[in-house]
Structure 1
Amino acid sequence: MRALKQLTAALLASLALAGCSSLPADAVRGTGDLGVVIERAAGRVKVVEHSHDSILGTVEGLGDLSHAHVAFSRDARYAYVFGRDGGLTKVDLLARRIDRRVIQAGNSIGGSVSQDGRLVVAQNYEPGGIKAFDADTLELVADVPAEYAPGKFSRVVGLADIPGQRFVYALFDADEIRVTDFSDPKHPVTTRYPAGHQPYDGLVTPDGRYFLAGLFGEDGISLLDLWKPEAGARKILSGYGRGEEKLPVFKMPHLRGWSLAAGQAWLPAIGRHEVLVADAASWKETGRVAVKGQPVFVMARPDGRQVWVNFAFPDNEWVQVIDTVEKRVVHTFSPGKAVLHLEFTPRGDEVWLSARDSHRVTVMDTASFAIRRELAVDAPSGIFFTSRAQRIGF
């Protein structure tokens, strides 16, 4: 009897191996080198991979992607796409199809995934507030309105996940920073902190300790120490902003595109042709780097040696590279018209740049600045790689 069981097990194992060997070569693969590129005008995404710099397929039917953001599931198989029309779409990157989709708001500009990967949280302009959804089913778990006075609701900006099943975000209309704890997902607890005037975006430092909210209504930045939140938010870099001379702002810089590199914070100056440099411990300004236009994204290569900068109109065809040791621009080039976004591969050997009006994505070697590949994409904007799934604040 025992011999028969062993023979049966051996036959089943051999059949399983035979079945696996008959699968197509691309049927089983990892997700660590995958990503999506937003085709903003067409309401679809390209699924891409950066091991060989190729497009794997297209997923359509994602609605208004004019201000789209993407977060990834814990296992990096699924992309959660947040659309401007309030759509939240779960995209299966391996099957290259929509897994689930809900319209959860009237106007949404982004979201994030909880520390344990079980919740997807969207930040909304209309109605103002945040909503938490089950990451598997996209069923609503909790609704947290951003009510700051009776019947008044603020637009939410700068939402980021932080340790402890918490999310931190800013209220543009309420001059507040809020932290919501989803340890009990159906009964979230929110703490409010006064901030400066009109926080327009925010970011969390890579260690999850500090939340920085840029201020549109005044010069400076509100900083909240998330390890010691009881001290409240404080104002830093009071000279940061448009200053006494109110310069025209053609596009607000993205704080999520700020960088920490070489012990310094690298920030896009509002309305100015400068990148501001500040000490990441004291948060005091240490210098400024003159650049070609008004910076939008100031992105550090993963090793921190370089910072790459793109610009608002009319200089939005240009990109500049700053050496963080020498604190100077070392390379200037144009990868196409209307460069909207850039994304580094996880170890920083490549950077992908989207040129909306040239309808292409350029893949560049970050050491030699040589072009490795150009990919045809319809009006590309945001580029998001699955390595974001393993990072705090994304």
Structure 2
Amino acid sequence: MADRTTSGGRSARRTTSRKHWTGPLKLAAALALAAAGLAGCAGGADGMMRGTGDLGVVIERAAGRIQVVETSGMTRLATVAGLGDLSHASVVFSRDGRYAYVFGRDGGLSRVDLLRARVTHRVMQAGNSIGGAILQDGSVVAAQNYAPGGIRLFDAATLEPLAEIPAIGRDGRRSKVVGLADLPGRRLAASLFESGEIWIIDAADPRHPQVTRLDAGREPYDGLVTPDGRWYLAGLFGEDGLALVDLWQTPPAARKVLAGYGRGETRLPVYKMPHLRGWAMAQGQAWLPAVGRHEVLVADPARGWQESGRVALAGQPVFVMARPDGRQVWVNFAFPDNDTVQVIDTATRQVVRTIKPCRGVLHMEFTPKGEAVWLSCRDEDRVEVYDTASFARLATLPADNPSGIFFTVRAQRFGM
């Protein structure tokens, strides 16, 4: 078919052809603008696009702020202030690793955008809080509180309050809540210190959570869930042993394990409570800090959680943490040995290295695949990074009175 010619001598077909091209050009321009907008949303504090898989947070406890760090280059990216009393702060992450939920000792709960290095939401939700958890699907954040004792649930996107569960035991007393951990099936587990109970909380409907109460023992002081989500373990301060719940059992029930580990021995003064949240599963065994003793207990889940060994240490263990491949367990200690870190080879169950990185080693955190470990040096205002194969110091980062170190890889694990 021949082209028709307009009065200006131009081809009508060519005019039509150019008109057809305006649609794709407009679409391309729109996509370019959208990409620029996404780049702005995904940009870090320096304006560059980046992912979140190697990000983390260092708590600067005295200053009430956090450092946003990255583990690939071992650098600080930004600081975020205005987070209140961080003297016992802990952190959980959104499932995409972009947002950190910071629980302050003063009851403040803050949602921090790690890419933009700013607080997006903040609520004062209690008088004294020591941590929290985030549900399996990332939709609900839960805070565990000392005063008033209880658990509060919040919408993870807005921090809108959803429910409050007062921690009132069977004896009618209000208890401090410890050991809050997320479980499979939109559930939580927690321990009540004064009333000696473990609660399993079904939060499928977060506005109307349902509680199952179990007897734990005297004064559960912390709790954890195994990486597979099957077992919840609560340490007992008021007696030797631990309380264990099989979460696959219906209905769940608690029983005592390792009940005789200190029998007949005088317990040493406890200068700092062990933190079971920093326990270790390695070589198919559980590696647990013994309360008031200079040793780590090894328990075998395949043999009913019976004790399978002990490792003598330089002091009272606080955190007992496994390298991600399970070959090493790193241990730090309570005062007066808090300048020391020991490394256990889990194949031989022997201490293979003792290092003294600084005074006041409060916390340890492994990089996602465990090639390095970060140590907070509270009393010397810095963070140390060590190679876990050679034990060489890789980097030193200044930090004001640092305590907890938390990496976004925790978002992909139960109980973290």
TM superposition shift of 1:229: 4.6
- Contact 2:267 2:293 (8 Å CA) reproduced: no
- Contact 1:74 1:117 (8 Å CA) reproduced: yes
TM superposition shift of 1:335: 1.1
SS of 1:230 mapped into structure 2:
coil
- State whether structure 2 residue 275 is matched by structure 1 residue 257: no
CA deviations 1:306-328 (Å, max 9, x no partner) are: 00000000000000000000110
TM superposition shift of 1:231: 5.0
- Contact 2:103 2:130 (8 Å CA) reproduced: yes
- Contact 1:318 1:339 (8 Å CA) reproduced: yes
- Contact 1:273 1:294 (8 Å CA) reproduced: yes
* CA distance, structure 2, for counterparts of residue 332 and residue 321 of structure 1: 6
Distance change in 2, residues 1:15/1:258 (3 Å): closer
- Of 285, 290, 295, which residue of structure 2 is paired with 1:274? 295
- Of 371, 390, 414, which residue of structure 2 is paired with 1:368? 390
Amino acid at match of 2:363: H
TM superposition shift of 1:237: 0.6
Tell me which residue corresponds to 1:240.
Answer: 261
SS of 2:411 mapped into structure 1:
helix
Give the TM-score, by structure 1 length: 0.96
Tell me which residue corresponds to 1:291.
Answer: 313
TM superposition shift of 1:190: 0.5
- State whether structure 2 residue 71 is matched by structure 1 residue 58: no
Tell me which residue corresponds to 1:390.
Answer: 412
SS of 1:196 mapped into structure 2:
coil
SS of 2:49 mapped into structure 1:
coil
- Of 341, 344, 359, which residue of structure 1 is paired with 2:381? 359
TM superposition shift of 1:17: 6.7
Tell me which residue corresponds to 2:12.
Answer: none
Tell me which residue corresponds to 2:245.
Answer: 224
* CA distance, structure 2, for counterparts of residue 21 and residue 133 of structure 1: 29
Q: Which moved more, 1:14-23 or 1:53-62?
A: 14-23
TM superposition shift of 1:27: 2.4
TM superposition shift of 1:268: 0.9
- Of 216, 223, 227, which residue of structure 2 is paired with 1:206? 227
Distance change in 2, residues 1:243/1:201 (3 Å): farther
- Of 54, 62, 86, which residue of structure 2 is paired with 1:41? 62
TM superposition shift of 1:166: 0.5
Greater Rg by CA? 2
Tell me which residue corresponds to 1:109.
Answer: 130
* CA distance, structure 2, for counterparts of residue 346 and residue 149 of structure 1: 42
Tell me which residue corresponds to 2:371.
Answer: 349
- Of 95, 102, 109, which residue of structure 2 is paired with 1:88? 109
Distance change in 2, residues 1:181/1:266 (3 Å): same
Q: Which moved more, 1:274-283 or 1:167-176?
A: 274-283
TM superposition shift of 1:244: 3.8
- Of 153, 156, 171, which residue of structure 1 is paired with 2:192? 171
Give the TM-score, by structure 2 length: 0.91
* CA distance, structure 2, for counterparts of residue 278 and residue 124 of structure 1: 30
Tell me which residue corresponds to 2:26.
Answer: 8
TM superposition shift of 1:301: 0.1
Distance change in 2, residues 1:304/1:17 (3 Å): closer
- Contact 2:109 2:124 (8 Å CA) reproduced: yes
- Contact 2:331 2:343 (8 Å CA) reproduced: yes
SS of 2:410 mapped into structure 1:
helix
